[in-house]
């Protein structure tokens, strides 16, 4: 009687011991483990990208892989007026014509026949390839804490006055249709309201930002100032010839930013805009240079690599825009009223930081800009005075890797823009040297 019961007890003990060892091994291997309170850190992401789903020239899975393999943590494929859902077949010939290379062969070479869905016949010239949906792409490239895809759509259209408006909605749960109002401002507002309603309906935080304001000279600083509920725009878009630097009669995007911020604070008693940098990449085959990946991105500070957490951080202004410069830290001490940056070193690079903004009491009488023939140009008004620019004034210029600026009290806001002596890794005709932009502070 006694012997079998002991042996049974021993067997149970052994079983428990084995189970305990397996459990601790699993924990040690990090299975299912999430740090309790991870420290906030910087995540690198691009919120503006095109694929074959609209007018980009590569398959979405290859585009997503490129970003994952180049140090990015998150990516929004933001094709024009659609979310990459449902079944879409594309003629192999049309794909290759658009790419200017044998993109279909490259696609097959990378993923093999099991992943690539084809129908028809290449020999008969009627082969078609199915574009992978966002869900399929996610299954291929996503990894917790390492790489995240954010569903997005570039709401693309024309305002009733004929001007071009593109806005990116990031973290959308449903496809939306561009809303045209009679004016640019009304159009921005209508799309913003539509996105907000969708966000409420679907329980998602959706970020809507205005894209490339100078593309086709679509937007003015007054437009961006006038819709105070819109808080985000692209201070830099990686596409060459989308006019970020402005021209003789149109201000550059940074000047637009300062004018819009000043008008918002003084005229509308509203918060300034936050600036993003994005690639807006379309050309993914190294054979074209207009809209290539890797030119411009955002760094967002958040505890988690999660769309909601990233968008919350962007809403707080806890991010910066860059074309190559990396910041270890950006802080605004609200008590001391000091904005401080820590710039990561790069071999051979020297840095100059300009602290810019506008002072209280600024003259806000804008004059129409005129072309060479003296005709008024329909664009942002000219607020420069005889004694120089009062809007977007350079308060201080600081060299080195730890620049800081303490507000003296008469600033409406201040922001920092860092310029490096290095060229961007992916060169651009519009931007000779690497730059980074932090968000306006001191306006609260
Ligand atoms: Zn666009
Ligand atoms: Zn775009």
Per-residue model confidence as pLDDT tens digits over 410-442: 999 999 999 999 999 999 999 999 999 999 999
Q: Identify how many contiguous H helices and E strands the chain contains and give both numbers.
A: 9, 22
User: Cα(80) to centroid of ligand 2, in Å?
Assistant: 7
Which of the residue ranges 182-186, 335-339, 386-390 would you say has the lowest mean pLDDT?
A: 386-390
Q: Is 413 helix (H, G, I), strand (E, B) or coil?
A: strand
284 C-alpha to ligand 1 centroid (Å)? 17
Q: Could you tell me what percent of the chain has a pLDDT over 90? A: 90
Q: 306 alpha carbon to ligand 2 midpoint, in Å?
A: 23
CA of 211 from ligand 1 middle (Å) equals 6
CA–centroid distance, 208 to ligand 2, in Å, is 13
Pairing of strands 74-75, 148-149: parallel
pLDDT (average), residues 352-364: 96
pLDDT for 1: 42
Residue 236 or 9, more confident: 236
CA of 235 to the centre of ligand 2 (A): 14
Percent of the chain residues topping a pLDDT of 70: 94
Q: What is the 393 CA–ligand 2 centroid distance (Å)?
A: 31
Mean pLDDT of the chain: 94
What domains can be seen in the chain, in order of their start residue? Answer: 38-88+131-437 (3.20.20.140), 89-130 (no CATH)
Enumerate residues with CB within 5 Å of ligand 2 (an ion): 154, 280
Q: Are 214 and 256 in contact (CB under 8 A)?
A: yes
Residue 31, pLDDT score: 62
262 has which bridge partners? Answer: none
Give the contacts of 129 (CB within 8 A, at least 6 positions apart). 59, 89, 90, 92, 95, 104, 107, 116, 117, 118
User: How far, in Å, from the CA of 354 to the mean position of ligand 1?
Assistant: 29
CA 132 – CA 53 distance, rounded (Å): 9
Q: Stretch 338-360: mean pLDDT, rounded?
A: 98
Q: Which ligand is nearest to the CA of 79?
A: 2
Distance CA 341, CA 320 (A): 11
Give per-residue pLDDT as tens, 379-391: 999 999 888 779 9
Q: How many angstroms separate the Cα of 381 from the Cα of each of 99, 253, 270, 385?
A: 40, 13, 20, 12
User: Alpha-carbon distance 227 to 231, whole Å?
Assistant: 9
CA of 111 to the centre of ligand 2 (A): 27
The owner of tokens 């305002």 is 159
Closest ligand to Cα 166? 1
For ligand 2, the distance from its centroid to the CA atom of residue 78, given in whole angstroms, is 7
Q: What is the pLDDT of residue 367?
A: 95
What pLDDT is stored for residue 2 in this prediction?
46
Which residue is associated with the tokens 């040690």?
28
The closest ligand to the CA of 210 turns out to be 1
For residue 443, report the distance from its CA to the centre of ligand 2, in Å.
Answer: 31
Q: Identify the helix (H) or strand (E) that includes residue 213.
A: none
The model's pLDDT over 77-103, given as tens digits with 9 standing for 90+, comes to 999 999 999 999 999 999 999 999 999
Q: Which ligand is nearest to the CA of 178?
A: 1
Centre of ligand 2 to C-alpha 211, Å, is 8
């Amino acid at each position: 009687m006694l012997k079998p019961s002991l042996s049974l007890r021993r067997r149970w003990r052994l079983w428990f011991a084995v189970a305990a060892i397996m459990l601790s091994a699993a924990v040690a291997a990090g299975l299912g483990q999430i740090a309790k309170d991870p420290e906030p850190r910087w995540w690198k992401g691009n919120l503006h990208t095109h694929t074959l789903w609209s007018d980009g020239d590569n398959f979405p899975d290859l585009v997503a892989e490129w970003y994952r393999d180049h140090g990015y943590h998150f990516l929004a494929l933001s094709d024009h007026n659609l979310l990459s859902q449902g079944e879409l077949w594309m003629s192999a010939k049309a794909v290759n014509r658009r790419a200017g290379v044998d993109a279909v062969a490259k696609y097959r070479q990378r993923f093999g026949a099991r992943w690539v869905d084809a129908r028809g016949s290449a020999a008969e010239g009627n082969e078609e390839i199915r574009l992978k949906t966002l869900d399929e792409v996610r299954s291929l490239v996503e990894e917790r804490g390492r790489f995240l895809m954010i569903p997005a759509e570039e709401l693309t259209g024309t305002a009733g006055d004929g001007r071009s408006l593109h806005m990116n909605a990031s973290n959308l749960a449903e496809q939306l249709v561009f809303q045209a109002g009679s004016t640019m401002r009304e159009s921005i507002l209508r799309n913003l309201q539509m996105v907000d309603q969708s966000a409420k309906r679907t329980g998602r935080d959706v970020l809507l930002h205005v894209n490339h304001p100078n593309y086709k000279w679509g937007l003015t600083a007054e437009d961006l100032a006038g819709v105070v509920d819109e808080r985000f725009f692209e201070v830099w878009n990686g596409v060459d010839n989308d006019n970020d630097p402005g021209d003789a009669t149109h201000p550059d995007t940074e000047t637009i930013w300062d004018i819009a911020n000043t008008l918002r604070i003084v005229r509308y008693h509203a918060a300034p805009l936050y600036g993003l940098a994005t690639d807006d990449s379309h050309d993914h085959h190294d054979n074209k240079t207009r809209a290539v990946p890797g030119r411009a991105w955002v760094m967002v500070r958040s505890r988690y690599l999660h769309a909601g957490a990233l968008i919350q951080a962007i809403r707080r202004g806890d991010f910066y825009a860059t074309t190559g410069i990396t910041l270890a830290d950006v802080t605004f001490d609200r008590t001391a009223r000091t904005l401080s940056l820590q710039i990561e070193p790069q071999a051979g690079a020297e840095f100059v930081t300009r602290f810019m903004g506008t002072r209280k009491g600024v003259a806000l009488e804008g004059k129409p800009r005129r072309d060479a023939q003296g005709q008024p140009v329909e664009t942002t008004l000219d607020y420069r005075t005889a004694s120089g620019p009062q809007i977007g004034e350079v308060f201080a210029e600081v060299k080195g890797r730890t620049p800081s600026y303490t507000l003296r009290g008469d600033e409406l806001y201040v922001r920092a823009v860092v310029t490096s002596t290095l060229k961007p890794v992916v060169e651009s005709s519009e931007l000779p040297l690497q730059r980074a932009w932090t968000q306006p502070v001191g306006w609260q």
